[in-house]
Structures are given as C-alpha cells and as structure tokens.
Amino acid sequence: MKNLRNSFLLTLVLALFFACGGSGRQSTSKIYIVTTTGMIADAVKNIADTLFEVEALMGPGVDPHLYKAKQSDTKKLLAADVVFYNGVHLEGKMAESLESLAKTKAVFAVADGISESRLISTSQFSGTHDPHIWFDVTLWIDVVKYVNLKLQEKYPEHKAHFQQNTVKYLNQLVQFNTWVAEEVNKIPDSVRVLVTAHDAFGYFGRVYGMKVEGLQGISTVSEPGLKDITALVEHISSSKVKSIFMESSVSARFINAVVEGCKQKGHNLKLGGTLYSDAMGAAGTEEGTYIGMIRHNVNTIVVGLK
C-alpha cells in the first residue's frame, strides 16, 4: 500500500507542474468566428472583412478526412461566437460533436445553403453526398449567400456592411466562374480527363464538363487496390491523357505508381503538378484564398492537358 501512497504524491506533483500550462486564443473584443476548413474561413472573411476575427481549424495542407483535433481547437470552438463547418459528412464524426454544440450556440453547416438536388449523391445509398462542394464555383456562390444570411440574422446591426461586401464578392465569383469555364474549354475534348489521387473533383468535372478519374474513393482512408491502379493505367494509356495530378493533402505514392505503370505500357504520362483539393495554400499567398486556390488548379490542369 506504500506504492499507492507514493503514486498519489507523484500524481499531485505532476498535476501541479502541468497545470501551469494551458493555452487558448488571445482574448480580443472582436466577434470571433471559427470554421473547420480554410475555404469557409475565406468566405466569412470576404463577407465580414476586418470586422470579425476569423479562424480555420484545419490549416493549409490538412486533410479533413484525417484531421486530428488539438486541445486548443476545442477551446477555440467553445470560445467562438459563431461556428461554420462544411457538412455533408466532410468532417466525419466531428460533425456530430458540432451538432451537439449547435444546441447551445450558433453553429451552421454551409452545405445547408445548397439545395439537395444540386449535391452529387454517392453510391446506391440514399442520404450520402460528395462533400467537396467548393470545386463548383456556382455552388460556392450559394454557400457565400448562406453564410451572409446567417451572419445577418445573427448580427442585424452589421446587415448593410455584410450585404455590401457580399454583393461585391459575389460579383467577383460570378466573373471568376466564367473565367474557369472558358479556361477548361481550351482543353481539347478528347483529353479533357482529370486524373487525381482521390475523388475530390466530382463537382468540378460536372459543372465544367471534365471527366474525372480518382484512384481512391471519397474517403482517403482506404488505399486503392491493385485492380484500381491497373484499370486506370489501361484507361490512361489508351486514351492518351497527357498528365496526371498530385493533391496537396493526399500522398503522392499512388500517383507515382500509375506513372510507372503507364511508362511500362509505352505511354509517357507526365506529372501535371499539384492541385489543392481538401485544403488551401499557405496563408498570405495567393493560393491561400478560395479564388486563388481554384485559379491555381485551373491553370495547372489547363497547362498539363493542353
């Protein structure tokens, strides 16, 4: 029993030692908005500009499917005045926690702003949708409208300010959407095939008329089987697709396997560069904004395939 007493003492000492730590956000008087992905944070920043403090939990290069919460993330969510998350199961189990948080504070899934008929249903099971909604700019326009609506409801005193910013940003997005469509149209029809690591570009392909082939399924957890790779190699070699693309938040291993396989079939498949899929680029760079991220992708795809 002496051991017991010693353990208690040790615990007390260690607990006191660690209790001195602890971190959270620096308290400011500004209204604090927390989002899960950087894309949503970007939308909020465009609507509220410097009025609010906006922060995304999943930073540049973080795969939301594999995101692990830090303790400070919990504190941020608890401290937030409003929380926006993607929804349609992008955040996995975390969405359940956010739904329970919604009972006590303003928490919104931005995908709720998109009518269900415009979401891509996945597989034969009802009620499951492709979560990568940001790759269709027209869908993202709906998201921005929804965020604007929710912010106006929550902070009616800033209504005019939000409305003005939103109209400005929506104009940008509409023009940007036209630009994306024109760029993709420059790729010859026969090679307008986008081959990437996982099925993140379903919406992009649907709205801008590109065939999309992904190695992995929607989730990045299961690894592609040998059959997936062989079938893809066969397909690429026969249709003479010029380039294949990496993704910022997904491992490059499988893409390299496909390139190697095509080489053996006598088809010289190039690496077309890296696309941003589930996360934006570093903050402060052009790719660290929603428009910059999509623009980078479109430029990379057009150069690689033309």
Considering the complex, state which of residue 156 and residue 225 has its C-beta at the smaller distance from other proteins: 225
Tell the smallest beta-carbon distance from residue 206 to other proteins (Å): 14
The residue written with tokens 């965020």 in the block is: 147
User: Minimal distance in Å, beta carbon 69 to other proteins?
Assistant: 5
- Tokens in use for 106? 């303003």
**3-state SS of the chain?**
CHHHHHHHHHHHHHHHHHHCCCCCCCCCCCEEEEECCHHHHHHHHHHHHHHEEEEECCCCCCCHHHCCCCHHHHHHHHHCCEEEECCCCCCCCHHHHHHHHCCCCEEEEHHHHCCHHHCCECCCCCCCECCCHHHCHHHHHHHHHHHHHHHHHHCHHHHHHHHHHHHHHHHHHHHHHHHHHHHHHCCCHHHCEEEEEECCCHHHHHHHCCEEEEEECCCCCCCCCHHHHHHHHHHHHHHCCCEEEEECCCCCHHHHHHHHHHHHCCCCCEEEEEECCCCCCCCCCHHHCHHHHHHHHHHHHHHHHC
Q: Considering beta carbons, is residue 165 or 277 the nearer one to other proteins?
A: 277
Site residues (vs other proteins, CB under 8 A): 1, 3-4, 7-8, 10-11, 14-15, 18-23, 65-66, 68-75, 77-78, 89-90, 92-94, 96-98, 100-101, 103-104, 122-123, 125-128, 130-131, 199, 217-219, 221-222, 225
Closest to other proteins by CB, 65 vs 192, is 65
Q: Pick the closer one to other proteins by CB: 122 or 138.
A: 122
Nearer to other proteins by C-beta: 87 or 272? 87
CB of 60 to other proteins, least distance (A): 18
Of the pair 67, 208, the CB lying nearest other proteins is at: 67
Of the pair 125, 189, the CB lying nearest other proteins is at 125
